C-alpha cells in the first residue's frame, strides 16, 4: 500500500513537472508538489510558518509547490518580489485561491481588473482621503477609550486578541459601513461569530459539499450579506446630505454613476471585503503592538516620553484637538508601528497568476501557474535590517533607512495593488497606541506567545494580559 502511494506521488510529480513551458530554456524552480490533487495544501494549513520556514531553508527564495488546487511558485526576497509587484498586468495578475474568490466574491477590489479595478479603487480611496480620516478620529477615540476602560475594570485580565477583534470590528462597522452604534450592539455577537467562521474557512479546498470548509464559509458569508443588505437599503431610502460619505456610500454612489444597472450583490461583496480588510488586519497588528510593548518596557518609556512632550506643548492627546497633523508629528510612535509590521506583518503574502511564461532569477514561471509573493519571509531575509530578531523601532527613524527598505519592507504590499486602507490603518493604530500608553500599564500573563497565521497573524493563546492604570509621575 505504501509503495503504491509512493508511486502515485512520483507519477503526480512527473505529471506536474510536464507543465513547464518547453519554449523557455530555464528550469522550473526546485520544490515538491505533494499529494495528488491535494498538493501540499494540508501541510500549509496545519503547519503554516513551520512549513514555510522548512521550504525556504531547503529550496531558497524561489520554489515550486501545489496549493489550493493549483501549481504554485512561492517567491521571497526584495529583488524577486519587486519584479512580481511591478509586473502587474504585464507578467502577472491578481488571482486569489478559488475558495477566497468564491467566498468573498468576484466583484471585490482584490479580484477585479482593468478599468473596473481602477473605478472601484477610486471610489474607495475617497473614503480614505485626508478629510475623511480627520472625520473618523473622534469615532476611533470613542471606541478605543471605551474598550480600554473595560479592560482596566477586569481584575482577572483579558484575552487581547478576541477583544481586539471586537474593537476593530465595531470601528470598521461604524466608519466604513456607516452602521449606527445601537445597530452594532444588536447584531455584534452574531456578526462577529459569522466573520470568525468565514475567515477561518477563506483558505480551504474548493469543495462545496455539506460541512466542508467552503460550505461553512459560504453559509457565514450569506448571513453577513443579509445584514449588510439591510444597511444598504437604509442608505438608499434615506439618501440625505451628511458631513461625510463612508466607504459603503461611496461604492453606492459610484455604482449609480456607472452605466451598468445597480448591482446589489457587487456592493455586498465589496462591503464584506472592506469589513474584512478594515478590522481583521488592524486587530492582528494592534494585538502584536500590545505583545511587543509588553515584552519591551524600554520602548514603552520612549513612546510615553514622546507623548508627554506633545502634551507639554499644550496638545490634549485624549481630547478634541487631536488631528492628522498632530498624529503625523508622533514620529517615534509611527516607528513602533513600523517595527511591529516588520516582524509581524498581519498579511503573510499576496496571490498572483502568471499571464505568460517568464523568467525570474534563472527559473521559469510557466503561464497559468499561481505565484505567491511572501511578505513575512521577505522581511525575515532583508539584509537592510541588522539584528532582525530584535524589536528596535529606532531603525526606522533615519530617512535613509526608510528609502533603502523599499521592497525589503512591504507590510501593505506594493505596486498598483497596494492596500487602499494603508493610511486609515496608520491613523487607527496611532490613536490606539496613544490611548493605551497614556492610560495603561500591562503585563503579558504567559510571556511571549506562539504566533500562528490563519489567515492573519495571531497569538495561539489569544494573549492573556493584565491591565492596570498608568499615572504620569
Residue 212 DSSP symbol: S
**Any idea what the Cα angle at residue 129 is, between residues 127 and 134, rounded to 5°?**
95
Of the candidates 428, 164, 460, the residue with the CA atom closest to the CA atom of residue 283 = 164
Give binding residues for heme as ranges. Answer: 419
Three cell numbers at 272? 464584506
Distance CA 74, CA 84 (A): 11
| pLDDT reported for residue 244 | 62
| pLDDT reported for residue 241 | 57
- What's the Cα-to-Cα distance from 97 to each of 37, 66, 214, 305, rounded to whole Å? 14, 12, 12, 46
Distance CA 330, CA 324 (A): 10
358 has which bridge partners?
A: 365
| pLDDT reported for residue 473 | 46
Outline where 60-180 has alpha helix (H). 78-85, 98-104, 114-126, 130-153, 160-175
Tens digit of pLDDT at every position of the chain (473 positions): 554 444 445 554 555 555 678 888 999 999 999 888 788 988 887 777 788 889 999 999 999 999 988 999 999 999 999 999 999 889 999 888 888 888 988 778 777 777 777 877 887 888 888 988 998 999 999 999 999 999 999 988 999 999 999 999 999 988 888 888 887 878 888 888 898 899 888 888 788 888 888 999 999 999 999 988 888 888 877 766 555 677 888 778 777 777 667 778 888 888 888 888 788 899 999 999 999 999 999 999 999 999 999 998 888 887 767 899 999 999 999 999 999 999 999 998 999 999 999 999 999 999 999 999 999 999 999 999 999 999 999 999 876 555 556 899 999 998 888 888 899 999 999 999 999 999 999 999 999 999 988 788 999 999 999 999 997 64
Of the candidates 144, 172, 308, the residue with the CA atom closest to the CA atom of residue 247 = 172
Q: Are 256 and 262 within 8 A, CB to CB?
A: yes
| pLDDT reported for residue 16 | 55
Helix/strand/coil for 412: coil
Q: Which CATH class is domain 2-469?
A: mainly alpha
Give binding residues as ranges. Answer: 419
Distance CA 161, CA 85 (A): 31
Distance CA 39, CA 34 (A): 4
Amino acid at each position: 500500500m505504501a509503495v503504491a502511494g509512493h508511486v502515485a506521488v512520483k507519477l503526480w510529480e512527473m505529471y506536474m513537472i510536464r507543465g513547464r513551458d518547453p519554449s523557455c530554456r530555464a528550469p522550473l524552480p526546485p520544490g515538491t508538489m505533494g499529494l495528488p490533487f491535494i498538493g501540499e495544501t494540508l501541510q500549509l494549513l496545519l503547519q503554516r510558518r513551520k512549513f514555510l520556514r522548512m521550504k525556504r531553508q531547503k529550496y531558497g527564495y524561489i520554489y515550486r509547490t501545489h496549493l489550493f488546487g493549483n501549481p504554485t511558485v512561492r517567491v521571497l526576497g526584495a529583488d524577486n518580489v519587486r519584479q512580481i509587484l511591478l509586473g502587474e498586468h504585464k507578467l502577472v495578475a491578481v488571482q486569489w485561491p478559488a475558495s477566497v474568490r468564491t467566498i468573498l466574491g468576484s466583484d471585490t477590489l482584490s479580484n477585479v481588473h482593468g478599468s473596473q479595478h481602477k473605478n472601484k479603487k477610486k471610489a474607495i480611496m475617497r473614503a480614505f482621503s485626508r478629510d475623511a480620516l480627520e472625520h473618523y478620529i473622534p469615532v476611533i477615540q470613542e471606541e478605543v477609550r471605551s474598550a480600554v476602560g473595560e479592560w482596566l475594570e477586569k481584575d482577572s485580565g483579558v484575552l487581547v486578541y478576541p477583544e481586539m477583534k471586537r474593537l476593530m470590528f465595531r470601528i470598521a462597522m461604524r466608519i466604513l459601513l456607516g452602521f449606527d452604534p445601537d445597530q452594532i450592539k444588536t447584531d455584534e455577537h452574531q456578526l462577529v461569530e459569522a466573520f470568525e467562521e468565514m475567515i477561518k474557512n477563506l483558505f480551504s479546498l474548493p469543495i462545496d459539499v455539506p460541512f466542508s470548509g467552503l460550505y461553512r464559509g459560504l453559509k457565514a458569508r450569506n448571513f453577513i450579506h443579509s445584514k449588510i443588505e439591510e444597511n444598504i437599503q437604509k442608505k438608499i431610502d434615506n439618501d440625505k446630505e451628511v458631513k461625510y460619505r463612508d466607504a459603503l456610500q461611496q461604492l453606492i454612489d459610484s455604482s449609480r454613476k456607472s452605466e451598468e444597472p445597480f448591482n446589489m450583490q457587487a456592493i455586498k461583496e465589496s462591503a464584506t471585503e472592506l469589513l474584512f480588510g478594515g478590522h481583521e488586519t488592524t486587530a492582528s497588528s494592534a494585538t502584536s503592538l500590545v505583545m511587543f510593548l509588553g515584552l519591551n518596557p524600554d520602548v514603552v518609556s520612549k513612546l510615553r516620553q514622546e507623548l508627554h512632550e506633545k502634551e507639554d506643548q499644550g496638545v490634549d492627546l485624549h481630547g478634541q484637538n487631536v488631528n492628522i497633523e498632530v498624529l503625523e508629528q508622533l514620529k517615534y510612535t509611527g516607528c513602533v508601528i513600523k517595527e511591529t509590521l516588520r516582524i509581524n506583518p498581519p498579511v503573510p503574502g499576496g496571490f498572483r497568476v502568471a499571464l505568460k511564461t517568464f523568467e525570474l532569477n534563472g527559473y521559469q514561471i510557466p503561464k497559468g501557474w499561481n505565484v505567491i509573493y511572501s511578505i513575512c519571509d521577505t522581511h525575515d531575509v532583508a539584509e537592510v535590517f541588522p539584528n532582525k530578531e530584535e524589536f528596535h523601532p529606532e531603525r526606522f527613524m533615519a530617512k535613509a533607512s526608510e528609502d533603502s527598505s523599499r521592497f525589503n519592507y512591504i507590510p501593505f504590499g506594493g505596486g498598483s495593488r497596494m492596500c487602499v486602507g494603508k493610511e486609515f490603518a496608520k491613523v487607527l493604530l496611532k490613536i490606539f497606541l496613544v490611548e493605551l500608553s497614556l492610560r495603561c500599564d500591562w503585563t503579558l500573563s504567559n510571556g511571549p506567545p506562539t504566533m500562528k497565521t490563519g489567515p492573519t497573524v495571531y497569538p495561539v493563546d489569544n494573549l492573556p494580559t493584565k491591565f492596570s492604570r498608568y499615572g504620569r509621575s
